[in-house]
């Protein structure tokens, strides 16, 4: 048998071919942006740095609160805390493994550390240290990470599309994906009170404020109905609840009545509430998450409903099991099905 020579191969995709400058409908150039503001809708209220400010409020009451970052304080809003409490802030440098290990050491000595980085670095690079130095000993370290799922146009190096799948397998770890500024503020206090380790996804900068108008109050481990509806049940987590609420409004105009069940705590999952709502007959159940279709909310809900013998018509809105493109966030959300329009189209096609 003749051996094939090992030579250069090209894995280049068509993206290497020249392109025209893209423009939006109103003629403006589209730009790649990691800015959270691009999650926002026209005219919606925003709150600046809700996590950083909540942590400062918390630190004023609790001496055990300390903050650590791996060179990303400005990009996780931890700089607000660092400025207010410089002696309780530890800059660990671009070294996620020792940041997580050191957070474990601080927790051993009685502190409640909040450690921040990007979701890709915590889930991919620091995993072994999170599971063995923190989770195995159930230490109260709070890992708070920006750029979850598809919230940046930088491409796979920064898009943590699989962080929930990675972390869901970790015993002892509580996982929170908050929707908006109101929830980030409330959840920051709630996870500090929780005696074990927590991974929380973070929206940073000017964060949209949505849930306040519904009189919402975050409770760790609880799914909550934002509003009812008789035709469709949205079960959503993270900022996709914002999208679910907007899609529900649009669908109502077309005569489809959609309920929205918000599930900010992915683990432990509030299966009691999810089962009770999904068991109400006649509704199409649609899960929505800012995460790959593999191993996130949709699969968790589907598996639990199967185990419980509840079999509604079911669909999942999530990112594909692919390395996603770089580009402008609104474009990418349209492309991968997370935009309000694409949710409305998807649901309409299933009714």
Residues 66 and 62: their CA atoms lie apart, in Å, by 9
Report CA-CA distances (Å) from 112 to 106, 167, 204, 237.
Answer: 7, 20, 21, 26
Nearest to 241 by CA among 208, 268, 273: 208
Answer yes or no whether residue 98 interacts with other proteins by CB under 8 A.
yes
| Shortest distance (Å) from residue 102 CB to other proteins | 3
Residues 122 and 93: their CA atoms lie apart, in Å, by 14
Nearest to 152 by CA among 349, 325, 351, 334: 325
| Shortest distance (Å) from residue 131 CB to other proteins | 9
| Shortest distance (Å) from residue 196 CB to other proteins | 14
| Shortest distance (Å) from residue 197 CB to other proteins | 14
Comparing CB distances to other proteins, the nearer of 101 and 152 is 101
**Site pattern 47..86 for other proteins (x: CB under 8 A):** -------------------x--------------------
| C-alpha Rg value of the chain to the nearest Å | 21
| Shortest distance (Å) from residue 86 CB to other proteins | 13
Report CA-CA distances (Å) from 82 to 63, 111, 181.
Answer: 14, 16, 20
Answer yes or no whether residue 132 interacts with other proteins by CB under 8 A.
yes
Q: Which of 56, 65, 103, 202 binds other proteins (CB under 8 A)?
A: 103
| Shortest distance (Å) from residue 100 CB to other proteins | 8
Q: Which of 110, 171, 195, 309 binds other proteins (CB under 8 A)?
A: 110
Q: Which of 30, 35, 84, 95 binds other proteins (CB under 8 A)?
A: 95
Q: How many residues bind other proteins (CB under 8 A)?
A: 27
- Say if CB 197 and CB 141 are below 8 A apart: yes
Answer yes or no whether residue 170 interacts with other proteins by CB under 8 A.
no
| Shortest distance (Å) from residue 137 CB to other proteins | 6
Comparing CB distances to other proteins, the nearer of 107 and 269 is 107
Answer yes or no whether residue 176 interacts with other proteins by CB under 8 A.
no
Residues 119 and 163: their CA atoms lie apart, in Å, by 7
50-61 vs 181-193: helix crossing angle, rounded to 10: 30
Q: Which H helix or E strand runs over 342?
A: helix 340-350
Residues 47 and 183: their CA atoms lie apart, in Å, by 11
Answer yes or no whether residue 107 interacts with other proteins by CB under 8 A.
yes
**Site pattern 196..215 for other proteins (x: CB under 8 A):** --------------------
Residues 194 and 263: their CA atoms lie apart, in Å, by 18
Answer yes or no whether residue 89 interacts with other proteins by CB under 8 A.
no
Stretch of 132-140, 230-238, 276-284, 320-328 lying at the interface with other proteins (CB under 8 A): 132-140
Comparing CB distances to other proteins, the nearer of 103 and 190 is 103
- Say if CB 199 and CB 143 are below 8 A apart: yes
Contacts of 45 (CB under 8 A, 6+ apart): 208, 209
- Say if CB 330 and CB 38 are below 8 A apart: yes
> Scanning the structure block, which residue is given the tokens 């709150």?
47
Comparing CB distances to other proteins, the nearer of 125 and 222 is 125
Answer yes or no whether residue 97 interacts with other proteins by CB under 8 A.
yes
Answer yes or no whether residue 216 interacts with other proteins by CB under 8 A.
no
User: What are the strands, taking DSSP E only, across the chain?
Assistant: 46-48, 65-69, 89-91, 112-118, 142-146, 174-176, 198-202, 206-208, 224-227, 232-236, 258-262, 265-267, 284-292, 314-319
Comparing CB distances to other proteins, the nearer of 26 and 109 is 109
Answer yes or no whether residue 93 interacts with other proteins by CB under 8 A.
yes
Q: Which residues bind other proteins (CB under 8 A)?
A: 66, 88, 90, 92-93, 95, 97-98, 100-111, 113, 128-129, 132-133, 136-137
């Amino acid at each position: 048998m003749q051996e094939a020579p090992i030579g250069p191969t090209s894995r280049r995709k068509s993206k290497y071919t020249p392109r025209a400058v893209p423009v939006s409908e109103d003629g403006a150039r589209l730009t790649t942006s990691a800015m959270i503001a691009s999650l926002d809708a026209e005219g919606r209220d925003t709150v600046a740095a809700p996590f950083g400010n909540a942590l400062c409020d918390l630190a004023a009451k609790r001496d055990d609160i300390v903050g650590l970052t791996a060179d990303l304080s400005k990009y996780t809003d931890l700089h607000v805390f660092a400025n207010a409490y410089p002696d309780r802030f530890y800059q660990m440098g671009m070294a996620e493994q020792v940041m997580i290990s050191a957070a474990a050491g601080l927790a051993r000595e009685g502190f409640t550390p909040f450690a921040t980085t990007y979701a890709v670095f915590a889930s991919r690079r620091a995993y072994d240290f999170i599971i063995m130095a923190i989770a195995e000993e159930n230490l109260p370290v709070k890992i708070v990470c920006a750029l979850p799922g598809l919230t940046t146009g930088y491409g796979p190096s920064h898009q943590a599309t699989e962080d929930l799948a990675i972390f869901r397998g970790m015993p002892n770890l509580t996982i929170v994906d908050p929707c908006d500024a109101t929830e980030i503020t409330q959840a920051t206090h709630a996870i500090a009170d929780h005696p074990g380790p927590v991974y929380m996804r973070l929206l940073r900068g000017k964060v949209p404020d949505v849930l306040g108008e519904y009189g919402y109050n975050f409770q760790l481990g609880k799914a909550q109905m934002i509003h009812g509806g008789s035709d469709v049940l949205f079960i959503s987590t993270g900022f996709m609840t914002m999208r679910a609420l907007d899609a529900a409004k649009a669908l109502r105009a077309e005569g489809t009545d959609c309920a929205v069940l918000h599930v900010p705590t992915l683990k432990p999952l509030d299966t009691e509430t999810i089962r009770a709502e999904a068991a109400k007959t006649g509704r199409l159940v649609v899960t929505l998450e800012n995460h790959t279709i593999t191993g996130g909310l949709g699969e968790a809900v589907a598996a639990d409903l199967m185990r419980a013998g509840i079999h509604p018509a079911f669909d999942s809105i999530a990112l594909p099991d692919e390395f996603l493109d770089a580009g402008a966030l609104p474009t990418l959300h349209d492309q991968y099905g997370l935009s309000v329009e694409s949710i409305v189209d998807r649901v309409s096609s299933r009714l």
